[in-house]
Amino acid sequence: MFENLCTLPLSAELFTQVLHPTEPLLGVGLSSGHVQCFRLPAADRSSDDDDDSNADVLSDGKGTIDTVWRTRRHKGSCRTLAFSNDGSALYSAGTDYLLKHFSPVTGQVASKIAIPSTRSIPDSPSLLHVLSPQTLLLACDSGALHLLDLRDGALAKSKPQQTHFPHDDFVSSITPLPPSAESTSGYSKQWISTGGTTLAVTDLRRGVLVRSDDQEDELLCAAFIPGMGPKKSRGSGIVAVGTGTGILTLWDKGAWDDQQDRVVVDPVKGGGESLDCIVQVPEDIARGKKVAIGMGDGSLRIVDLVKREVEGTLRHDDIEAVVGIGFDCQGRMISGGGQTIKIWEQAPSLAQDDSESDSDSEADDSDDDDDDDDKVARKNGTKRQTSRNSDNDSDSDEEGSKRKKKRRKGKAPVDLGPHGAHGVLRFNGLD
């Protein structure tokens, strides 16, 4: 299981989050149109390192979360973000119908284009995914999936190389399939997508290959889990798909007509909370095939796919849904939803805790009180940073925030008391 290190408050509702592939960088896109990049501290940072008073302090007191830059990237909401494969570029798309390419280090915009439209009115983006160094996938609310070839200068023109319609509703997830053994580039040319009540497989060269049967349940998120399924050969695996009624469906690779198995994540009669986002837990942390799932009720569930059961439950928020979840390059779990980001670290194993408690019992019992005080101090060790803005786009305030999912309704604010929803101390004047 995981323990919460700190809670990072945001200035507006979170729409999307993305993690750098090799650096401890976190990018967030907000309903206000702002895009913000944070640098997370190194996990092995020394306690002798200098502290920045204008930073969000991690709960161990040894590191800070620094704002690298912050800017209002879009006049409407920032719907989606994506890093390039090597992390050298960051892309965003918003409800101002613009797609922008900029530096993740400085936030400086390199290029931008108008989002292609397949109908008489502009089409809002729903998802971005970088398939390879040459191919950027852009999904829209109309169900259109545009393929932009970056070698052709696609970010300087609005005409995509290809456009497909794998679903009748907006695309809710894109999951690349591993490249075949014959691949010379090492990059995927096929991907799984979900939208509405169907799952589809699309090929970069041949278009939509197959669409599943109607699942009679909204499919919201997906993750490819290698090394599972009936054939455990190279490239084998299953696709775990989260639904709107709290059921995790499992699909064997190559059998895309219908689901092969299911796990009840939220067992509520008549349908549980929605499974809004999913990520595989790194195997060196999980010691097996497990996924972390963000729920519509603000909870996080860890599911063991081998045992087909929920292993544990965590709480991100008491009100808002979890809209983003991932693992950074140092193995920490990052969850986001509402106006908060939470950072989680793997908790010590029960065996390790038992051995430590046995050795401590032989020592002076007075040390327990000091340890408890240290834990409380660490749990409450979060404060807000004064952001350093780099407003490169000179965008004006025009459009209010907009919910990405049509089925989700707004909820009235609730007074959670002086310690917030999860016991994290909040300071007056800091949001």
Q: What is the mean pLDDT of residues 160-171?
A: 90
Number of neighbouring beta carbons within 10 Å of residue 159:
11
Q: What are phi and psi of 113, to 5 degrees?
A: -140, 165
Instruction: Kindly report the average pLDDT of the chain as a whole number.
Output: 79
Res. 59: pLDDT tops 70 = no
In angstroms, the CA 223 to CA 175 distance is 6
In angstroms, the CA 317 to CA 297 distance is 8
Considering the segment(s) 2-379 as one domain, its CATH architecture is: 7 Propeller (2.130)
Higher pLDDT, 120 or 24: 24
Number of neighbouring beta carbons within 10 Å of residue 44:
8
Helix runs in 246-366, H state only: 283-286, 350-362
Query: Would you say the C-alpha torsion 413, 420, 324, 234 has a positive or negative sign?
Result: negative
3-state class of 146 per DSSP?
A: strand
Give me the numbers of helices (H) and strands (E) for the chain, helices first please: 3, 29
Residues 61-95 pLDDT 10s: 457 899 999 999 999 999 999 999 999 999 999 99
- Alpha-carbon distance values, 38 to 27, 222, 289, 370 (Å): 6, 26, 30, 32
Query: Are residues 243 and 268 in contact, defined by beta-carbon separation less than 8 angstroms?
Result: no
3-state class of 367 per DSSP?
A: helix
pLDDT of residue 235: 66
**SS3 sequence of 383-400:** CCCCCCECCCCCCCCCCC
Amino acid identity at 374: D
Higher pLDDT, 36 or 427: 36
Nearest one of 225, 232, 423, 398 to 318, comparing CA atoms: 423
For residue 113, give the DSSP letter: E
Query: Are residues 144 and 118 in contact, defined by beta-carbon separation less than 8 angstroms?
Result: yes
Residues 329-347 pLDDT 10s: 999 999 999 999 999 998 7
Q: What is the mean pLDDT of residues 147-170?
A: 84
In angstroms, the CA 302 to CA 293 distance is 6
pLDDT of residue 386: 37
- Residue 382 CB contacts under 8 Å (≥ 6 apart), including other chains: 6, 7, 8, 56, 57, 59, 424, 425
In angstroms, the CA 300 to CA 303 distance is 10
Predicted model pTM = 0.77
Residues 210-228 pLDDT 10s: 999 999 999 999 999 998 8
